[in-house]
Amino acid sequence: MRNILIVARKEIQEGLRNRWVLATTLLLAGLALSLTFLGSAPTGTVGVRALDVVIVSLSSLTIFLVPLIALLISHDAIVGEMERGTMLLLLSYPVARWQVLLGKFVGHLSILAFATLLGYGAAAGALAVTGAEIDAQSWTAFGSMIGSSILLGAAFIAVGYLVSALVRERGTAGGIAIGIWLLFVLIYDMALLGLLVVDQGQTLSGGFLNALLLLNPADAYRLFNLTGSAGVSAFSGMAGVAQNATLNPSVLLAALAAWALVPLGLATLAFSRREL
Amino acid sequence: MTGTVEIRDVVKRFGKVEAVRDVSFSLPEGETVALVGHNGAGKTTLMKLMLGLIKPTSGSISVLGDDPVAGQFEARRRLGYLPENVSFNAALTGSETLAFYARLKREPAKSVAPLLDRVGLTHAAGRRVGTYSKGMRQRLGLAQALLGEPRVLLLDEPTTGLDPALRQSFYEIVEELRGRGATVLLSSHALTELEERAGRVIIMNRGIKVADGTLDELRRIARLPTRIRLKVTGTGLANVPNWLGPVDGWRRINGQMVEIDAAPDRKIEVLRRATDEGAPVEDLDVIPPTLDELYAHFLLTQEAAR
Ligand SMILES: Nc1ncnc2c1ncn2[C@@H]1O[C@H](COP(=O)(O)OP(=O)(O)OP(=O)(O)O)[C@@H](O)[C@H]1O
Ligand SMILES: [Mg+2]
């Protein structure tokens, strides 16, 4: 346990030093703040549900940005250190490989969580300061949006580690990471949509569709946030979907958690088998 | 007799490459052992095996009583390793880096500053490692290997990039640790440097251990000629065999000097003649075979035996 914290601490120290923490926090805060105020300007709805509008726009932002940031930090974690030669020295110390990996995970996730919390928190704070009325239900939805964003980040960090543990070269890891991002964030949904259009609701069952949605962490995240709260789904145009959805929030959360844990376990396995 | 490091019939294959073939040796406490061999001879591979970073294809290894791949950390805490191309994360400072490694070895934070001082990095302790010169990185590498009074030190080409002053103090540090009972294994290509420092030499060739012993033992086995240089006066140079008797190999190296290759059993005889009353000899030097020559000899005999 102590070794995990020692490694995590060093990751955070490095993140602070090479400005990763600063850059991601500023990026998320900047985008969140502009979405918050640009988003509410045209409709003029700085009303009771102002925060719900923000949740919708921020969760769309998260789907694009958080996986990208997570993969950027994580794809290099193992193969990069091996290529630079720092892993050789680290593993000669009294620390197990799974502890190194878990330590990195804790460190990277802390950086991402810090940036998300501060960046999105700034948007909600600014909204509250400008006098928008926000009820408890919206706050809960906002809180679970941040929590699930961090969980989405955890999933993509874990996927990044798995790539990093399997490939031989850093460049390959980078390429695969970008491919994974494109696949889950853009291509998957387009393909799914295409499938639905072609099928015309003839053969594909609802259960099959649900399974397809759970197989993509970004979709699980989207459904969780856009249909999770009645208030939010009204704004997201997902109200129809929300009524039909047979996936309840806890199933979606479990899918996200599985997307974090399974790749992390596989990455640990691949890493421990690797020769230096 | 058991040493701190025991290697028995170890074979390590990387695909088709046999990096280490059937090597056995034991390293006792309080000894400095030099591991020499050409590029790709298997020196680094042997050290990685001792650290448990790679698993032997067959054979057994024990370090401080533990199997290094079993994931027992007790032994590793008492082990110092300096990789051949040591590198650190560029973002942290020298003292932050060393503090990180100290925490992993459960060494107190206060052990960091004296170590940095010992390798002469105090002035750069607060600078990012990314700004260090190669020699400074090597010094930092040395400092981390010395954390926590190691019982076994594995140093892979430790003096590359070190300036002469630190090279000297490096060997002093090693000698001090050895004096306190540590086992020191160091690989190097700087054979002349090892000559006075290593009590024992292990020579590797293509993964096979071809020689193992003290420098004197190796000299005896190799039976290499000792070089004797004579500074000759007057006309002595003209008729060397007359006063020296029949010697196999001798040559002039300039107008005054003669060099003789004397086989071990002829050495004393040649010296007697050269120091005889009538011999026209003003001065002489006796140069025993160097480690370089021994090394070349053992490689050649092994190649011939293949
Ligand atoms: N991970 C690996 N995969 C494949 N082959 C390897 C690996 N590591 C080492 N080898 C091979 O094993 C042999 C021994 O390598 P090793 O690094 O032990 O040599 P060395 O004696 O340290 O050489 P040098 O003096 O150049 O440092 C070489 O032929 C090398 O190509
Ligand atoms: Mg080597």
Test A89 with B104 for CB contact under 8 angstroms. no
Q: How far does the CA of residue A31 sit from the closest CA of chain B (Å)? A: 28
Q: Are A11 and A105 in contact (CB under 8 A)?
A: no
Q: How far does the CA of residue B290 sit from the closest CA of chain A (Å)? A: 34
**DSSP sequence for B196-234:** TT-SEEEEEETTEEEEEE-HHHHHHHHTPPEEEEEEE-T
Distance B47 CA to ligand 1 centre (A): 11
Reported pTM:
0.87
Residue B81 near chain A (CB below 8 Å): yes
Beta strand residue intervals within B67-206, DSSP E = 79-82, 152-156, 183-187, 200-205
What CATH number does the domain located at B225-288 have? Answer: 3.30.70.980
Provide the percentage of residues in chain A whose pLDDT is more than 90.
Answer: 40
Q: Are A232 and A52 in contact (CB under 8 A)?
A: yes
Test A88 with B91 for CB contact under 8 angstroms. no
- Structural domain including A116 reads 2-273
The burial class, CB within 10 Å (0-12 / 13-18 / 19+), for A239 is: middle
Retrieve residue A136's tokens. Answer: 């408890």
- CA dist A112 and A71 (Å) reads 11
Residue B1 has pLDDT above 50, yes or no: no
CA nearest to A84 within chain B: B87
Test B88 with A86 for CB contact under 8 angstroms. yes
**Side chain identity at residue A172, one-letter code:** T
Architecture of domain B5-220: 3-Layer(aba) Sandwich (3.40)
Retrieve residue A11's tokens. Answer: 């990751």
Return the minimum-mean-pLDDT range out of A32-46, A201-215, B101-115: A32-46
Q: How far does the CA of residue A248 sit from the closest CA of chain B (Å)? A: 43
Residue A151 has pLDDT above 70, yes or no: yes
Find which of A198-202, B174-178, B244-248, B266-270 is predicted with most confidence, using mean pLDDT.
B174-178
Q: Which of B10, B36, B45 to probe ligand 1 with, by most ligand atoms within 8 A of CB?
A: B45
The 10 Å Cβ neighbour count of residue A250 is: 9
The pLDDT assigned to A153 comes to 94
Sequence ranges of the domains in chain B: 5-220, 225-288
pLDDT tens digits, one per residue of A82-110: 999 899 999 999 999 999 999 999 999 99
Q: What is the per-residue burial (b if ≥16 Cβ within 10 Å, else e) of A181-215?
A: beebbeebbeebeeeeeeeeeeeeeeeebbebbbe
The pLDDT assigned to A231 comes to 58
Instruction: Give the pLDDT band (50/70/90) at residue A115.
Output: very high
Test A94 with B104 for CB contact under 8 angstroms. yes
pLDDT tens digits, one per residue of B214-224: 888 888 887 88
